[in-house]
Structure 1
Amino acid sequence: MKELEYWIEKDEINELYTAKYWNDIENEKTKEWYIEDENDSKVLDYLKRSGLYEEFEIALHHADIKGKVLDVAAGVCWTSAILSLFDSVDEIDALEFSLHRIDTLAPRVIGSLNGKKEKINRIVGSFYDIKREDNYYDTIVLSSSYHHAEFPLKLFHECDRVLKPNGTIIIVGENIISYKRVIGRFIKNLFQFQYKLDVCSDKYNVNDDPLGDHYYTKCDYRFTFASYGYQYKEIKSNIRGSIAYIGVKGK
């Protein structure tokens, strides 16, 4: 594969939000992503069993995938591998702050999914500081990544900066606060003799360390896209009961 690129210094990595958890190699060895070589089918088996693979494919089916692509918080690059198979995709910047994931595991995972390694640039950096000029990318993908942002609007603002007019943003793999979740919390409150209905997303974002998970409502996503003038659509999937958001930037 191409040489690893650095948009931040190595000693800056640990200063990033939740970096300690995502750079814990011993902990990572217990996860489905950890494979020793590209002939191991464990990652693909997990993606299909969990529904993540089909969920991602459904989102891509409804989006215009082309040109220069940014894969935000790319992790082990399974999403980059799938994106690289599109003939319409020229190159992919796979941005990640977990050094062992992007450096060691990503080449193995990309190989196990038959991805086109020559299209993929592996980059260590912060998604709040994307080292590309304005209007650089045609497509930006955030798969299971937007909800890990400590400052989601700051992340979206930076993505908007580097996205071309008429470019596409895909947000998929999110922790949506559903009506079922709200009702469940209401019932829990009743048992605690707290007669209130929590619908604010900040009520669901306590104790999110060490992963950095956050939970948002549909309205949160809609508000973000609308505030930046995007045309967007919600793609509901029966897979994991999830919703993907496809946004198109204005001209």
Structure 2
Amino acid sequence: MSLIEVRDLRKVYHVDTERIVALNRINLKIEKGEICCVLGTSGSGKSTLLNIMAGLEKPSLGSVFIDGVDICQLSEKKLAAFRQKNIGFVFQSYNLMSTQTAIENVAMPLMFRGMSKKKRNHYAIEMLKAVKLDGRMGHKPSQMSGGQQQRVGIARAFVARPKIVYADEPTGNLDSHTTIEVMEIMIDMARRYKETLIIVTHDQEIASYADRIIYLLDGNIKSDKPNESIMKTKREKDSETAKQVKDQKKNEEGKSNEEK
């Protein structure tokens, strides 16, 4: 069973007398540990798709299954509990609490799990170290740059080890240099913890970081393909690893024969 399965998803908005089809019979499956990008221009339906897959919005028709649970059928209370347990978010505008420090912002998802302050601060500190913010732990958002704030946002999204992290235009407010830094950190976190990461963007450069690119146009999936450059790099790494293991085994066999 796929971690995420979207079935016949349709979303229609009614604005005055106008009927707008934002999503039109979307079907897709996403596996555990995949890094996917939903790519599309403004108005393509990509943010609507993310919102429905994250349980932030209800579809007009269709279903979204996460780990076998149809989240579209959950009550608001059960849906909120499901999100707290299974989903993390990285926002374009960071969405940090302005009165709280980096540690407090990152620790917040753990508070909803009933974890003690000492324990959640311990995990928050570890995550902030992982995103290279050792010297900013006691700083509030107003004391940090945009890139630093987004790294706090990434740490917060991953701290509770959710099954899925959704990132909506995560670098939209950042310059090109900081964009590269933030994307590399986020991809590294997803791979390190083997978590599913879904990025929504209009930017081809951001899409190039994903294992798989789903291109959306006018509410329809126009293409859904693996990122060949990423797949090639993975194959080369796997081949090199296999070669190293084979060479090591050969060396060990050679030493064993010599001892005999």
TM-score (norm 2): 0.31
Write 1 or 2 for the structure with the bigger share of strand.
Answer: 2
Write 1 or 2 for the structure with the bigger share of helix.
Answer: 2
| Structure of higher CA gyration radius | 2
Higher normalized contact order (CA 8 Å, seq sep 6+, divided by chain length):
2
